[in-house]
A and B are shown apart, each in its own frame.
Chain A
Amino acid sequence: MTTMTFGRAITAGLRRAMDDDPKVILMGEDIGKLGGVFRITDGLQKDFGPHRVLDSPLAEAGIMGTAVGMAYRGYRPVVEIQFDGFVYPAFDQIVCQVAKLHYRTQGAVTMPITIRVPFGGGIGSPEHHSESPEAYFTHTSGLRVVSVSNPQDAYTMIQQAIACNDPVLYFEPKRRYHVKGEVDEAVDPASSDMGAARVITRGTDVTLVTYGPLVPTARDAAVAASDDGTSIEVIDLRSLAPVDFATVEASVRKTGRLVITHEAAQSGGLGAEIAASITERCFDHLEHAPVRVTGFDIPYPYSKLEFHHLPDLDRILDGVDRVMRRPNSLSGLEGGAL
């Protein structure tokens, strides 16, 4: 076991993947000498050379499109998108090419591309640097989408994403880059499944589903709720497409109550899909309609207001109160003025 930060764990995972497979190459802006704006690729160009760690021209569609060509040639590109809000110029290549080429060519061409996206808010940044665009990609057939919440998963899952023959969006919660944790570098990535959700806190009253940056917040909420006598089961989804509904369903059949929390905007978001799917699968086991605690349907706000937008411990607990039918919940307004 080694203690390392979240960011360092990704670096270590990248390094190991590059050691294991000479076809793994990194592409992105400022990832060479600088090591990326978050230093995730720090030292890798020096150790593996500029032919394996490519500083790309400043054009996201170009990076993604040339990664497609590299994959055609048998490489496993790992693309760094510098910030969440910069992924949109690459959107066409991701949705129309990366996601569809395996289907289009009836399996002849694989696209083992990993797209790393630092995402989410909470770092006081200007516009375009704090977004949560994951639902655009979970809605796109042909892509797999994961989000990591701790250094061990960051280390293991980046290797699993790179080894995956399908394209993977790998969402990194940038506000957690400096969180430290224990990482077992000897773990074999093939021994676990990045598609599996994980129950990180056992509970019996409410199932609280989240991923990425809000996992620590959800865990804290479970601790706080237990002080009030409410037992919360926290699930870290890890995989956002596909969602491991079997794990969520098993939990909800036990608790009868579901709260989903994410930073991304509410309408049409991943929480909506989870609420709908779980309602379809275990309606008769529900004691209350699933409740979403999410960012608002607004452009990501300026930094002095961002903590009003981001779900925090108290808003999550308010959602818990609502599925528990406690009268103090303020989040359920359907019976009120609206």
Chain B
Amino acid sequence: MTDGSSPDLASGTVHPGPSRPGADELVQLVDPHGVRHPHGHYDALVADVDGPALQKLYEDMVVVRRIDAEATALQRQGELALWPPLLGQEAAQIGSGRALRSDDFVFSSYRENAVAYCRGVDLADILRVWRGNASSGWDPYTINMATPQVIIGAQTLHATGYAMGILNDGADAVAVTYFGDGATSQGDVNEAMVFAASYQAPVVFFCQNNHWAISEPVGLQAHVPIARRAPGFGIPSVRVDGNDVLACLAVTREALARARSGGGPTFIEAVTYRMGPHTTADDPTRYRDANELEDWAARDPLARLATLLDSLGLLDADYTDSVKATADAVAAELREGCLSMPEPAPSDVFRHVYSAPNSWLDRQQDHYERYLASFGPDGGTPQEGRR
């Protein structure tokens, strides 16, 4: 395991037991074969998840996988400039995303489109930035989720500061920040853990260890399991099977409860795998072994939950048909929202740099608008010569 990848999920390194797990234990409630294993600590946290709730989690994962596929297709068709697929990470994002309360606040990277779905984002808003029609997709306060952060790890500090504000307000909301294994090398992430621990801020660090930071394997970022770092900062941590939606739900609920009750931050390492490219501009065949992909395909988060549902008699044709219909409808809405998105006006380039008039910028805008007007009412935008 020279790349520092995680212990094999299927090979018996999982240790469900009666007590709270140690930092290296991988919490797993549903194994890759779809078998539900009892867990002395975490079962209680998902005791309310009955058959219909499991079916809903499955539907969520199918829908976000469909959103991902549709967006990838839109990119290939030239409708999006770029898309960062989440294929393979559905359980980590749905399991954690469905644990949140509406007044919690999410600070994510750019791959958490399934979390945005959980927050109730308008579907077209997910695409706005990738189509190039706006600098971001939505008003963060409408769904209590910041728009995607591109600077790796920067959002972990924002979440920590937001959580410090929650403390000052005497509220019991929680800030949740999503980032990847690559981000854990950033100074910002480490500083965020220092601040979160010092102030005992109600923040959850949700690290999706998807094994790859573009072309760099996780072993280049961390020589030991990433979750081991947090206790050094004074932050309790847990490793969870990131392809097990039920386990992700359980550990996130525990972290949220700790934060709400004054217990401070928690670090979650969700061990998962980026099945697709970093973005649609990436070519993982240049750096990744196809066998590794096959190994992880066998641990697919959707397939294992489908197997579990089937074993419980919850996967009949009516149900699967309805899930497919929902996913198709969502995909159609996404595509329609993309294709009908209004184009920005040229003068929008100047908007919102400041919240008040600015003499430097106003002068530039005035000059540019008069320049554009010089092309006449029809020639408004001099497309020729712009390339």
| A residues apposed to B, CB below 8 Å | 25, 51, 54, 56-57, 59, 61-62, 64-75, 89, 92-93, 96-97, 102-110, 141-142, 144, 164-166, 195, 241-246
Contacts and interface: CB of A to CB of B under 8 A. Distances in A.
A246 B168 contact: no
Given A61-B191, A104-B136, A105-B139, A66 B352 contact: no
Interface string B162-200: 111111110000010000000000011001101100100
Contact of A93 (B141, B157, B352): B157
Contacts of A195: 359
B211 interface: no
A73 B169 contact: yes
A93 B353 contact: no
A51 to B, nearest CB: 5
Contact of A75 (B158, B165, B360): B165
B352 A75 contact: no
A74 B187 CA distance: 25
Given A57-B195, A61-B187, A242-B359, A72 B354 contact: no
Contact of B192 (A62, A70, A107): A62
Nearest to A95: B151
Given A106-B136, A106-B351, A242-B360, A61 B157 contact: yes
B313 to A, nearest CB: 46
Contacts of B165: 69-70, 72-75
B105 interface: yes
Contacts of B146: 72, 109
A7 B147 CA distance: 39
A62 B354 contact: no
Contact of A59 (B154, B191, B354, B361): B191
A69 B147 contact: no
Chain B CB within 10 Å — which of A72, A74, A97 has the most?
A72
B347 to A, nearest CB: 14
B353 A102 contact: yes
B159 interface: yes
Contacts of B154: 65, 92-93, 96-97
Contacts of A71: 161
A74 B136 CA distance: 20
B355 interface: yes
23 contacts: A61-B188, A65-B156, A65-B161, A68-B157, A68-B158, A68-B161, A69-B158, A69-B160, A70-B162, A73-B165, A92-B151, A92-B188, A93-B188, A97-B154, A103-B352, A103-B353, A104-B135, A108-B140, A109-B141, A141-B361, A142-B353, A166-B355, A242-B361
B134 interface: yes
9 closest Cβ pairs, A-B complex: A69-B161, A65-B157, A73-B165, A66-B161, A62-B191, A69-B162, A108-B139, A242-B360, A69-B158
A230 to B, nearest CB: 30
B44 interface: no
B261 interface: no
Nearest to A25: B168
A51 B360 CA distance: 38
Nearest to A69: B161
Nearest to A109: B140
Interface residues of B, number: 44
Contacts of A75: 165, 168
Nearest to A66: B161
B291 interface: no
Contacts of A25: 168
B192 A102 contact: no
Interface of B: 105, 107, 134-136, 139-141, 146-147, 151, 154, 156-169, 175, 187-188, 191-192, 194-195, 198, 351-356, 358-361
Chain A CB within 10 Å — which of B139, B151, B162 has the most?
B162
Chain B CB within 10 Å — which of A64, A102, A106, A142 has the most?
A106
B105 A72 contact: yes
A242 B362 CA distance: 11
Contacts of A89: 187
B359 A70 contact: no
Contacts of B353: 102-103, 141-142
Contacts of A165: 355-356
A65 B356 contact: no
Contacts of B164: 54, 66, 69-70
Chain B CB within 10 Å — which of A62, A89, A108, A195 has the most?
A62
Contact of A72 (B135, B162, B192, B361): B162
Given A73-B166, A108-B141, A66 B160 contact: yes
Chain A CB within 10 Å — which of B167, B191, B194, B361 has the most?
B191
A92 to B, nearest CB: 7
Contact of A107 (B163, B175, B355): B355
Contacts of A73: 105, 161-162, 165-166, 169
Given A67-B161, A69-B163, A74-B165, A97 B151 contact: yes
A62 B195 contact: yes
A147 B169 CA distance: 33
A272 to B, nearest CB: 15
Given A102-B354, A104-B136, A105-B139, A72 B359 contact: no
A120 to B, nearest CB: 24
B188 A57 contact: no
Contacts of A61: 157, 187-188, 191
Chain B CB within 10 Å — which of A75, A97, A105, A245 has the most?
A105
Contacts of B163: 69
A105 B194 contact: no
Chain B CB within 10 Å — which of A59, A144, A166, A244 has the most?
A59
Nearest to B146: A72
Given A69-B162, A72-B146, A97-B154, A103 B135 contact: yes
B367 to A, nearest CB: 11
A67 B163 CA distance: 11
B151 A96 contact: yes
